[in-house]
Structure 1
Amino acid sequence: MAQANKDTWSADQYSKFLKDRTRPSIDLLAHVPNLSPKRVVDIGCGPGNSTAVLVDQYPNAKISGFDTSPDMIRKAKETLPNVDFEVADLQSFKPDVPVDVLFSNAVFQWLPNGKRIEIVTRLMDHLTPGGSLAFQIPYNLNEPSHASMREVADMPNKPWSETLKRANISRDQFPSPTEIWDGLKPLCADLDIWQTTYMHVMENHEGIVEWVKGTGLRPYVDPLDENAKKEYIETYLGKLKKAYKAQNDGKVLLPFPRLFVVATKA
């Protein structure tokens, strides 16, 4: 799933919640109509967890995967040595021959704002007739887990203030379902769009921090020195404790909205 800041992704950090991160892949694949594809590509395959779902579903297909992160590809090759993996970028992706299923788990949100629909529609050109583009993305920028990142980053006179101001971090909400529909429907025989909110069970509020360290928190903490990073995370954790009430057993429920799209080419 890595596409941004490709040299700083950590397969080990990402894999701490691998079961929860893999479940959307399973749910997405359940809606893909192609029963016997010959060629399948996992776009932004991460450590190979989504690719493993594809291998189980399509044992006779030629499956490959790519990611911008060398560490993710290293882990994927260790996990699935019989699958072809490579370091590559979605924005320049062009398969040698048309593909039956293009699959992507939590990648397209990292694409540049303004180019997302353009890139997604271009992927349809690489499908066989009747082939499917299936992707899901986190749809949670307005959730406290992510809004708090921006709020902490924007605090004045903090050890991180100038560094993050220079970093000019910009995370924009992915295009709406109506925008996706207008962009993709002219190319599709069928287009299925839906949203699901998962309730991930965290052991405590620190668990939320560990979750987002593997993905959304990275642009905020990667540019910081260790002292600034520590204080930023402590301040962020304080906001999480106010936003998410602990349950009677001490665990914390993390609502996590995701947007799903399955576009079948005409």
Structure 2
Amino acid sequence: MSRQAVWDPVQYGVFGDERARPFFELVGRIGGAEPRYAADLGCGTGELTAALAARWPGAIVEAIDGSPEMIAEARPRGIPGRLEFAVGDVRSWRPRQAPDVIVSNAVLQWVPEHRELLPRWMEALAPGGRLAFQVPGNFDAPSHAVMRELAGSRKWSGRLEGVLRADPVLGPEGYLDLLAPLGYAVDAWETTYMQVLHGNDPVLEWVKGTALRPVLSALGADAEEFLDEYRVLLREAYPAASYGTVFPFRRVFVIASRNAP
């Protein structure tokens, strides 16, 4: 996760059902035998990791996240001997044994070196093991583009230079080209969910839980002034309709298998 961001489990939980949809689409397409040992790298508050443990009742599930705030929220969901949560950095993680499945949900956009990390995770898998991950693919969307433009303005650039990245992930074709030449079977695709959000300034509330966290952390007490300016830009980019505010939510998915038949 981003070293600049302080995570708020409550804010992250806003629109929790909508955020969870890509996870369940990803996990629903993991084939193969039921794992004996699985890892969830970047587990957040642990609700979705608990769903993994329920899906694979015979598996030991190891879950880590770089945010102490998230892990404090997750630990009560642990199951002795079956589901364990710990603070950890996905970049330096090493499995205790060769995992049958590695899942990473909406994490790798925070890891600049993840293109080098993915082959290492593949090598760590047991024979026939699967790596499944998904990342946001909406960094060119207005929600992110106007955030970067505002952060780069004369007023804010001095404090926000280098805080936001424009291209933190690849498209599905990029991950296919990264992993397939190494001999792995790769299923890569993308989905755009037309999320219909409700409430006042719902897109702002959405990004406050994720993409905006580094900005809020960098600005501290001055963040409200930035939010006031950003709110106006979002209202223009995402006008409310009679049935809600439409927020296109593009995600990139990859499932890569080691020694797949």
Q: Pick the TM interval, shorter chain.
A: over 0.9
Q: In 2, Cα distance between the equivalents of 1:11 and 1:79?
A: 14
Conserved? CA contact 2:4–2:214, under 8 Å: no
- The alignment status of 1:231 with 2:229, answered yes or no, reads no
Question: Amino acid of the residue matched to residue 221 of structure 1?
Answer: L
Match of 2:106 in 1: 106
Give unmatched runs, 5+ long, in structure 1: none
Within the candidate set 161, 164, 167, 2:160 is matched to: 164
Residue 251 (structure 2) aligned to one of 246, 252, 258: 258
- 1:32 pairs with 2:26: no
TM-score under structure 2 normalisation?
0.92
Distance in 2, matches of 1:162 and 1:43, equals 33
Report SS of the residue matched to 2:129.
Answer: strand
Spell out, residue by residue over 1:197-250, the C-alpha distance to the aligned partner (whole angstroms, 9 max, x if none): 112221145111111111101112211142x3112111111111111121123x
Q: Percent identity?
A: 39
Match of 2:7 in 1: 9
1:125-157 Cα distance to aligned partner (Å, 9 max, x none): 11011100000000111001111111111222x
Give yes or no for contact 1:42–1:50 (8 Å, CA) kept in 2.
no
- 1:44 CA drift (Å): 0.2
Report the counterpart of residue 241 of structure 2 in structure 1.
247
Unaligned runs of 5+ residues in structure 2 are: none
Query: Does the CA-based 8 Å contact 2:122-2:258 persist in structure 1?
Result: yes
> Aligned partner of 1:181: which letter?
L
**Aligned counterparts of 1:188 and 1:31: Cα–Cα separation in 2:** 20
Of 152, 155, 171, the match for 1:154:
152
Q: Does 1:120 align with 2:118?
A: yes
Deviation, 1:109, is 0.8
Change (3 A) 1:258 1:247: same
Note the alpha carbon deviations across 1:69-127, whole angstroms, 9 max, x for none.
11111111123344211111111011121000000110011111xx2221011100110
Instruction: Look up the equivalent residue of 2:197 and give its one-letter code.
Output: M
DSSP-derived class of the 1:231 partner: helix
CA distance in 1, matches of 2:117, 2:158: 33
Q: AA paired with 1:259?
A: V
Structure 1 residue 94 and structure 2 residue 94: aligned? yes
The 8 Å contact of residues 106 and 136 in structure 1, kept in 2 or not, is answered as yes
Question: Following the alignment from structure 1 to structure 2, what is the Cα–Cα distance between the partners of residues 168 and 29?
Answer: 31
1:203 counterpart residue number: 198
Closer, same or farther: CA 6–50 of 1 in aligned 2, 3 Å: farther
Cross-structure match for 1:84? 84
Distance 1:26 1:168 in 2: 30
Shift of 1:28: 0.1
Q: How many residue pairs were aligned?
A: 257
1:158-184 superposed Cα distances (whole Å, 9 cap, x missing partner): 3x342113x553342412333322221
How far is 1:55 from its partner? 1.5
Distance 2:3 2:12 in 1: 14
- For 1:220, the equivalent position in structure 2 comes to 215
Alpha-carbon distance, 1:7 to partner: 6.6
Indicate the SS of the match to 1:60: coil
Q: Distance in 2 between matches of 1:37 and 1:223?
A: 41
Deviation at 1:38, TM superposition (A): 0.3
- Secondary structure of the 1:103 match is strand
Of residues 172, 175, 194, the one that matches 1:177 is 172
Equivalent residue letter for 1:212: V
Provide TM-score, normalisation by structure 1: 0.91
